[in-house]
Amino acid sequence: MLAAALTSFTTFFATIGPIEAAVIFATLTPGMAYPERRRIALRATLIASTILAGSTLAGGPLLRQLGVGIPALQTAGGIILLVIALDMVFARPTSAFKLTPSEGAEAQRKDDLAVFPLATPLLAGPGAMSAGILLAANAHGDPLELAVTVAVLAAVMGMTLALLLAAHELTRFLGVTAQRVLMRVFGILLAAIAVQALFNGIGASGLVGLPR
């Protein structure tokens, strides 16, 4: 269970990106009063948590109803996570944790930043949703391991809320260099998890004799 908890924490923390989300939150709310920032952070975290919990618990069964097996889920999830990990390691401009110019402009005009862009796509983006489905698939129907995965998701979202509430102080404390170092470290860990998921999926498919 400890191994499953550590894997879930690393995967969720890397794909949800609490630190990156806090930095973007600070740039979107520079002159906003703290009570209003707190309201937005709470709402965004609640919405994102609901989306990710739903993906984790229902995503796998739904895909299996469509004829998609666990090996396919593991392989596809591994590919998606690997792409995100490479973005994190090389700090590419197309990183999943950055808004496009059009998204940034729309975010500035939005009355409710909690829904867009905070809850989605920043917190509950395709990578985090895929991660939840993949981790649930790796539980292989074990209720305890699935419960651990959901508990870790709740813990990461709790950390995310805390970082959003302290976003302005956090950005001043960390600085750009520390943020990039943390992103690269978690990117490397996520890349290893993604490659292992690929190995597991390809091995379980029976195409090659990779160890499971």
Does 40 fall in a domain?
yes
Domain assignment present for 147: yes
- CB burial of residue 208 (10 Å; 0-12, 13-18, 19+): exposed
Domain count, the chain: 1
In a domain, 211, yes or no: no
Q: Examine residue 52 and state whether it is found in any structural domain, yes or no.
A: yes
In-domain check, residue 212: no
The pLDDT tens digits for 6-29 are 999 999 999 999 988 998 898 888
User: Which residues span the domain enclosing 64?
Assistant: 2-203
Cβ 169 vs Cβ 66: under 8 Å:
no
Residue 49 inside a domain? The answer is yes
Q: Please tell me which residue, 130 or 155, carries the higher pLDDT value.
A: 155
Per-residue DSSP letter, 56: H
- 209 inside domain: no
List, as one string, the DSSP characters of 64-115: HHTT--HHHHHHHHHHHHHHHHHHHHHT-TT-TTS--HHHHHHHHH-S-TII
Confirm whether 210 is domain-assigned.
no
pTM of the model: 0.79
